[in-house]
Amino acid sequence: MRLAFEEFDRFEDAFEALLEKLDFKVTDPFRDVKKVLCIEPHPDDCVIALGGTIKKLADSGIDVVYLLLTDGSMGTTDESVLRHELALTRLIEERKSSELLGVKKVLTLDFGDTELPYDREARKEIVSLIRKEKPEMVLMPDPWMPYESHPDHRRAGFLGIEAVSFSGLPNFNRTDLMIGLEPHSVSAVGFYYTHRPNYFVDITDVMELKLKAVKIHESQFTEEIWELWEPYLRTIALYYGKLGGMKYAEGIRFVPGIFLHICPFHDVI
């Protein structure tokens, strides 16, 4: 017979029983998922981080929607390319790349590249889109990834996690209610670009397709840049693969919703 929680003397026993009570299982994260919202700071982040996973989700009938936060207009070293031209080029590349992976649609918020604001307005915009799309799962960059230099990446992670925490609260932006957007609770959150993955997707059979989808972002990956980036991306996939016991993998850190607040034991999740 199962013990009542007041009878547990050891953390390990209580923790195991607590995990059993949760709806979301880190070991089987896509079980009840019909739609995934993948938040990306720039037009190539979802495919770089999760192109293989996204292809597999789409093939299995799960809807994948991108939420692109900035216009990507800083992504060039060519002085002759103007911001608005690059933003348009990158959006076209993103549509082509996401189509190859089977992504349903790409939502955009058009904040300036390198200038993603970390404020209430940005949070509200993301919350509204979560309420509109009603995904069961939201993916975002891990904002605690050490040595990540890009503020848009760190902020995208923090904004994403906060939007997920607040989208179910009716008093957060009641204007949404007036235009018919109901509060929506997201059951699962996953962090990509993470150094602490706890779940691995074997992408060995779709690795070449992933690289093709990355390279569609031609404004970012000229032949010269690709000479270094292809080995970089393969090495990252081999690293996650080594951790997960496969050849090429993508690593994700899934966290059950309740542990996104006041939780001191992330080291054992």
Q: Is 41 in the site for Zn ion (CB under 5 A)?
A: yes
Torsions phi, psi of 145, nearest 5? -60, 120
> Which stretch, 35-43, 51-59, 124-132, 163-171, contacts Zn ion (CB under 5 A)?
35-43
**Min. distance of Cβ 39 from Zn ion in angstroms?**
11
Regarding 45 and contact with Zn ion (CB under 5 A), the answer is yes
Which are the contacts of 184, defined by CB distance < 8 A and separation ≥ 6? 130, 131, 134, 167, 168
SS3 234: helix
- Does 42 contact Zn ion by CB under 5 A? yes
Least distance to Zn ion, CB of residue 81, Å: 17
Structure tokens that stand for 129 in this block: 């889109």
Residue with tokens 């390990």: 12
Q: Which is nearer to Zn ion, 42 or 154 (CB)?
A: 42
Q: Count the site residues for Zn ion by CB under 5 A.
A: 3
Pairing of strands 35-40, 199-202: unpaired
Q: Which is nearer to Zn ion, 75 or 256 (CB)?
A: 75
Least Cβ distance, residue 153 to Zn ion (angstroms): 6
Burial of 220 (0-12, 13-18, 19+ CB in 10 A): buried
- 157 near Zn ion, judged by CB under 5 A: no
Tokens 């996953």 sit at which residue? Answer: 190
Quick one: which segment of 38-46, 122-130, 157-165, 167-175 binds Zn ion (CB under 5 A)?
Answer: 38-46
**What residues make contact with Zn ion under the rule CB under 5 A?**
41-42, 45
